[in-house]
Each structure stands twice: as C-alpha cells, then as structure tokens.
Chain A
Amino acid sequence: MSVLIDSGTKVIVQGMGKTGRFHTDKAVAYGTQMVGAVHPSRAGGTEIFEGETDHSGVPGRPDAYHVEVPIFRSVIEAVAASGATVSVVYVPPPFAADAIMEAADAGIELVVCITEGIPVADMVEAKSYLAPRSTRLVGPNCPGVITPRQCKIGIMPGYIHEAGRIGVVSRSGTLTYEAVHQLTQVGLGQTTAIGIGGDPVNGTDFIDCLNMFNEDPETEGVIMIGEIGGTAEEEAAAWITSHMTKPVAGFIAGTTAPSGKRMGHAGAIIAGGKGTAADKINALEAAGVMIAPTPTDMGQAMLTAMSTDN
C-alpha cells in the first residue's frame, strides 16, 4: 500500500515544453506509466522517449525503454483515450491555474502542479473552482509525489528513495530530498513522499497528508517538514493531538529568518509576528512530534519517534 499513487497509476502531462519533456523522460525511465500529453497545437502527434532504464524505479524491467506518448488537444480527450486518473502540470505560471481547472473538469482524480510563480489570485480562483469537485490538487510550486519502486510524478531524483515504512510530507523541495535520503540511509525507507509546495495558496495540506498516512496500513510513521509563514503547521499540530495514531517526526526551517522578508518561497514570510518557526516548533512538540534540532538529524528523529512510540 501507499497513498495517492502506485504502480497502477496512469499519468498524463500538461505542458510538454522543455521542462515537461525532461521530467517526463525521467518518469518513464523510473517506470511511471506516462500515457498521454496535452498540447493544443501539437495534438495528433506523439512524443518519443527512449534511453537507459532507471533501475532505482519499478523493478523487473529491461535495461532500455522506448515509449511513445500520444499528444491530445485537451485533458478530457486525453482521459477518454488513456484512462488516466492523474495529471502532472508543467505549464508556465500565467496559464497553470487554467490547466489545473481543466484537469478538474475532465474528472482527473489527482493533479500534481509543479509550476512555480503562479499569481496568488489565480490560485485563489482555482481553489474555489476545485472546492465542489472531487479532484485533489498537490502543489503548486512543489517537487511532486513519489511512491518508491512504483510511480514517480514530478522533479525529484528517484534514486535517493527506497520503498519502506515512512510517509513524508513537506513544503520544501530540497529539504524533502534531505529527509528522504536520511530515511533511506537509516533503513526506514518511504511509503510515499508528498511535496505540498511553498506557495501561500496550495491544494493538499499537512492535515490531508497526515490523515492519508494515518489510514494507510503500510505507513508506520510520518515525517513532516514545515517552514515559516502561515499557520498550517499549527493546525496540523492540533489535528495530530486529536487524531494521529502513528509516530510523527518533523523539522521546521527558518528559525533564523528575519521578519517581513520572503525567504525564497512565496509563502515563507513572517507577517505581523505570525508564522515564526518558534511558534510552529512549540505547537508540534506539544502535540508529541519529535522535532529534529537540525536538518541533519531528521532520519534520527524519525527513528527516535518510532522507538519511543511503542
């Protein structure tokens, strides 16, 4: 078991530009079933991917791959032809919110939006559009979602992951890699790793992920990586107190961040004294979360959380 995606997941790509093509190739090499692409002006053609298989991905495949991905002019046509339930969005920022809404309209179950730099107002509209629909959004401005050895959707390096016991949820890309790498090194591995993104308005949040991991029989513990800005970590802490049955470890970035400055991520800003790392760490520790004092200690914190929980 895993959450959101597994070896049976069929994925289409929205945005087959240079970035979309590059990462689709990596996903195919990993063994992800990439079954279609959407590009209004190149519809009818195919995009060919071939190369050396990434053996850190889906096991039991030959050493080379050759995959032809058909291009459709709309998501609804891509879904009808391919049976895809998941879409990954690499569309440039001015058009990305529209791409998300198009996927939702076509009945896509999960949209993973990688695009960074989408206007906040566009995301406010997209979230409002998604609210009455059953489509789940992950991101934007995120590395994506991966279930090791089964399915990789997004821009994360596949080989640092290993199938295992821990659910990972994070607002930061490279810090997710850091956590995943350590979990692999200490032998815990990951069930699924979800990057929820660094924007102030995003889809799936910490609580959604904690809930999914809590109900997933294979996930034995969760590591959550937060950062300054907003109150999502505080809300997650309250949820953990009342619902979480599995051990949780965590790390919060930005203890040294000055107030009122955006630290790279659009959502990483301390405003009006709210959103500080100290508040988040206090709330999570009060909820019993094992906070890693430094990012080098994330794997160890997870091990400690697992051993003290029994």
Chain B
Amino acid sequence: MKIHEFQAKELMKARGIPVPQGYEVSSVAEAISAVAPLVEASGSPIVVVKSQIHAGGRGKGRFKEEPELAGVNVVTDGINGGIEATKRKVGELAARMLGSTLVTVQTGAAGKEVTRLYVEQGIDIDRELYLSVVLDRSTSRNIVMASTEGGTEIEEVAAETPEKIIKAEIDPGLGLLDFQARQLAYGLGLEGAAFKNGVRFVKALSEAARELDTDLVEINPLVVTTDGRVMALDAKMSFEANALYRHPEVQDMRDLSEEDAAEIEASGYGLSFIKLDGTIGCMVNGAGLAMATMDIIKYVGGEPANFLDVGGGAEKEQVAAAFKIITRDPRVRGIFVNIFGGIMRCDTIAQGVIDAVAEVGLRLPLVVRLEGTNVELGKQILDESGLNILSATDMKDGAQKILEATRT
C-alpha cells in the first residue's frame, strides 16, 4: 500500500526524524493561509508547493492543462516582495495545480488529477543524498542503501555508477548497529555536525522501517543544509500488505482515489485482479497459472485484458463478480476461463460459471478449459447447460479458441 509524501513525513516526524515543516492543503484558501505560519516558523521567505499523488517524478512532471507548469514549484517571490508576494504566488499556483492532471514518468500518459498539495518551507541545501530501506530478497533481510547521488533515480545510479551505492544489512534481531550507521555516514562524506545528524537520521529511519513494516522507505533527496542539518526533502513509503493488520494508523492513510476502482472492488470479493490493456478477459485459479494464461494469450497473438486469480476456493458469487468486473471493460471481446482443479473441483466451478452467466447475462464468447479434480463431471455440466460455451482441451487450445472467437 502506498501513501502520500505528506503522510510519510507525518509518520517520520512522529518518530523524531527531521523533515521540513509543511501543511497539506486541498484548496486555494488553505494554501494561502499556510504561508504565514511556515515563513514565521522557518525564518525563510522561500516556500515550495508540491503536488501530492502516488507517483514519482513529480518535479520533472508537467500538467496536461498547462505544459509549462511543473508538479513541484519553488516560490521565491518573498525574497524581495515579502510575505504578501509569497501568498499571491502560492494562491496563483494552487489555483492552477488543484484539479489539473499531472503527467510524470510513473503515471502513464493519462496522468493523475491533483487534489491535494503540500506547502512546505524552503531549505538552504548544501548537498543532496539518497537513502532507502528495502528488502534484499537474496539475503532475506532489510538493507539500508545510501548514495551520494541524491535526486537521481537509484536504478539509474545502480546501472551507471554502482560503486556509488553503499549498503548495510540490518540484523532482524539487533536492528541497524551504531557502527553501520557511522560507516554509512562516512560513505556519504558527512563531517562535523552533519555527520552526527546523519548517523542519527539513518538509525531512526531504519528503526521506523522496522516498526512500521514498510515495504520501502525512500528518501530522495536526503538533504544536508548549509548549517549542517540532515533532513528528508522528499519521502516515499509503501507498506507490506500482509502486515497492515497490525498498523491501523497506516491503514487509515489509504487513499482509495489513487487506486483502480475495479481492483478495489475485486479485492472485496477475495479476487486478485489487475487491469491491463488487451481485449481478452481471463479468469484463472492460482497466481502462477493466471500469469501463464496472460502469457499464452499473448503467445497465440492476442492481448490479455486482465490478470485475475479467483483463488483456491471460489464460489458462485466470486465467479459472478469476476465476470461482472471483466465485462465492464468495453474493450473486452471475449473471456477465457482456465481452471486446474486441485482442491477446487471442476464441477463446482462449472456450476459457478453457469449460474454466473445466468445472472450476468453474458453476451461475449466464452471459452472454458477445465482440468483436474472431477473434470469429466465439470465438462458434462457445461455441455448440458445449453449455453454457448466453447470447451478447450488444454491451455493453448483455449487461448487459440478465444482468440478466434473474438476475431469473428
């Protein structure tokens, strides 16, 4: 689960991790009234207005409605014009940004509507660094990753200058040790006050990652100010779904407007669903088989419209819900049901398909491939239903049949 930058900073601030002061706003008036307290508290006439969406690359992103306008804007009008000039500029920016659609490298061409902004104090930056805590799957441990190349995507650094990435493995029992934090700070070239602050920051961040069961915490950039402070200029956090049950405060931060409506609805039925761009809908039991079904549709020359795993114990209701969700997409021209019955019996799924078709009134071509437990009974039920269901002998046959059916 992803959260917004302002929420991540809230969680960090509550754990003593330095972040700039800021206010989350969703109207022009709120944006303007955030200026005075910010300027007063920070003593800096500069403020930053940042779009809050669940996607990276906001600074380089541009709005669809105004191709010149960036997703993040630094307001310096206050340096010469005083606080009233800052208010005017912030108000003007908020009016243009709110309700507009931001397109970044991560949003896709459609972009995302900006409904919230984060108005933040300006910071005197000396250096920009990178810091993250992430699972290293090959060692089955969390690691801290740090780099002097702040502001650049870490994947880019890893590809071009991997020697600039320093890592420290976190012992699950002991946490990040003091000497590891010092080594990371040395590696980042920190000295004096910045060194001490950096060590503290790294320790606190690794502790927060552990306490909150994060999937990823990424501070990019982590900045060193001209007076030796170390703080998170940006913050990205995502959480591990399986551990959310023990973090109600994080669950409350879920922003459903940032997620796909169909995926949310599917998860309510216990279905694992991901929308894609093709024309052949699929319904499968098992995640691996569901992926392989998409692959085989592509292999025979079609395009899958979705990933859908009905799980190991699907009932009629889930099958019906799956059909409804798949067919709501106007691009879908046909459906391929691919079931390998293990625990799930083929006769149960066959009856589920028939009941669901009766309820939903399916007009699209439907190919069903059944294999496994009670397969003969399942096929018999489909044959005797009188419904226009094409039966497939194996996965490839099924993929070819649905492709053919959607082309005519």
A residues contacting B by CB (< 8 A) are 93-94, 117-125, 127-128, 143, 155-157, 159-160, 170-178, 181, 198, 200-201, 225, 227-232, 235, 251, 253-258, 261, 263-268, 272-273, 277, 293-297
Residues of A near B295 (CB, < 8 A) are 253-256, 277, 294-295
B291→A177 contact, CB < 8 A: no
- Interface size of B by CB at 8 A reads 54
A200→B245 contact, CB < 8 A: no
- What separation, in Å, do the CA atoms of A143 and B289 have in the docked complex? 13
Q: Which residue of A lies closest to B342 (CB)?
A: A157
Q: Which residue of B lies closest to A296 (CB)?
A: B396
User: Is B276 part of the contact surface with A, judged by Cβ < 8 Å?
Assistant: yes
Known: A119-B243, A157-B372. A261 touches B274 (CB 8 A): yes
Give B404 Cβ to nearest chain A Cβ, in Å.
Answer: 17
Residues of B191-236 whose CB lies within 8 A of A: 210, 213, 215
- What separation, in Å, do the CA atoms of A263 and B242 have in the docked complex? 15
B340→A174 contact, CB < 8 A: yes
A–B pairs, 15, beta carbons within 8 Å: A93-B242, A121-B172, A172-B288, A173-B286, A174-B284, A174-B286, A174-B288, A178-B371, A253-B295, A255-B298, A263-B291, A266-B242, A272-B155, A293-B299, A295-B295
Q: Which residue, of A143, A177, A227, has the highest number of chain B Cβ atoms within 10 A?
A: A177
- What separation, in Å, do the CA atoms of A124 and B372 have in the docked complex? 35
Interface secondary structure of B, over-half rule: mixed
- What separation, in Å, do the CA atoms of A23 and B404 have in the docked complex? 40
B137→A201 contact, CB < 8 A: yes
Q: How many A-B residue pairs have CB under 8 A?
A: 171
A201→B135 contact, CB < 8 A: yes
Give A98 Cβ to nearest chain B Cβ, in Å.
Answer: 14
Q: Which residue, of A117, A121, A266, A293, has the highest number of chain B Cβ atoms within 10 A?
A: A121
Residues of A near B272 (CB, < 8 A) are 264
- What separation, in Å, do the CA atoms of A285 and B312 have in the docked complex? 32
Give B219 Cβ to nearest chain A Cβ, in Å.
Answer: 16
B343→A157 contact, CB < 8 A: yes
> Which of B138, B243, B373 meets A121, CB within 8 Å?
B243
Residues of A near B210 (CB, < 8 A) are 121
Give A295 Cβ to nearest chain B Cβ, in Å.
Answer: 4
- What separation, in Å, do the CA atoms of A258 and B211 have in the docked complex? 30
User: Is B334 part of the contact surface with A, judged by Cβ < 8 Å?
Assistant: no
User: Is B258 part of the contact surface with A, judged by Cβ < 8 Å?
Assistant: no
Residues of A near B284 (CB, < 8 A) are 174
Give A175 Cβ to nearest chain B Cβ, in Å.
Answer: 4
Give B362 Cβ to nearest chain A Cβ, in Å.
Answer: 24
Besides the known contacts A231-B138, A264-B290, 13 further A-B residue pairs in the complex with CB atoms under 8 A apart: A119-B213, A119-B246, A121-B172, A128-B140, A155-B342, A157-B341, A175-B286, A229-B137, A253-B288, A256-B304, A263-B287, A266-B242, A294-B295
A128→B173 contact, CB < 8 A: yes
B172→A125 contact, CB < 8 A: yes
- What separation, in Å, do the CA atoms of A170 and B289 have in the docked complex? 12
B288→A198 contact, CB < 8 A: yes
- Can you list, as one digit per residue, whether each of B9-30 has a CB less than 8 Å from chain A (1) or not (0)? 0000000000000000000000
